[in-house]
Structure 1
């Protein structure tokens, strides 16, 4: 499984994913850095893989090479995307190329863990054995029932050093009521609608919609994930390695 995600530090997202894949018998292939789209397509075709892990902007750059080209890897049919919002336009373009997208939701503060889509594509199945997730009223802090939109809050109870208790992420979402169509018993966090923006004090807030466009003024291989988590309020970018 080629991993195009940026960062090659020991505890970065890409090496951690590679280690996890190897533990379940999947052979990871860490793409070189930088890895232009043409090189990525060549690597995927040579490996004969059906699945890749990448940023949404990286998959978009691959699709812009035209899946009809002779060099396009015909076996590629699935993509695990993380680090940036996945918009409907990218899903449509990927589907036309025969690629099914599985989006992952995570934060730097949770060591990249969070939830991932299933084949039903209704939201993110949460890994709550490690990361309990709540949805609260962003003004009162009170818990909200499933189906009601509010601020996503997480706790990192399994962390040995500096665990987070009821950490307010600043992301707006809702827990989906009822079982998922895939049959999983895991709870499902619906798509994140945007970021909560305070407006003059704790008694007022608004919603900033998630950015649906990826910046094209930088190479895809150098792209960095957009913000998820409180740090985004200060610097506007995810602290991804």
Structure 2
């Protein structure tokens, strides 16, 4: 399985090295680090990686999570908390079929002290919660080990029929286009745009669009803009014109 592990802003070199070792234990080899706050190749990291030192050295560094996920077709966030406007975390066993059907899945882990923030989780189609006792805080490397185990240990099972879905970069571009269109037609305003887009993300991410389907949707958005522009040239307000708080807004 072409599984990537993405660490967002890790703080401690030893945790990065231990995470690399956990990946090697479970058969994952694609380590991606977003905006690290430490020297992930220092002596402590290499020592904790043990035999995964080469995996650690081959890690790719990205300035943003969006860039780290650009070529992935499924991104799975990790969180132990419920978040407003975001889908609730699910048990790993329920997400495993999605991961196994994906051509290029990614597991995303947040900083040691805070975990993933809402803006990170917005870029993940699903969120997983590792089942624990009452004390749910796990070391970064422990979390990497457990989630990689859940998604990689079943590789010998017959693979289901796969469907190639759009990359995260294609989806993020589509969501940017959707937000522009929502502002254009007065569907939402600057204050409520983020909440509204989260609802649309949750709906459209469940569809697991293909690249062609994302282009089809963007073609529809381009037609909306063309229609609004034509109406403006002719001096005729479009029928859908309304205030930002108009009836088209959803809560």
For the superposition of Structure 1 and Structure 2, which TM-score range results when normalised by the shorter chain? under 0.3
Structure with the greater alpha carbon radius of gyration: 2
Q: Please, what TM-score do these two structures have when normalized by structure 1?
A: 0.26
Normalising by structure 2, we get a TM-score of 0.25
Q: Which has the higher helix share?
A: 2
Which structure has more relative contact order (CA 8 Å, sep 6+)? It is 2
The structure carrying a bigger strand percent of its residues is 1
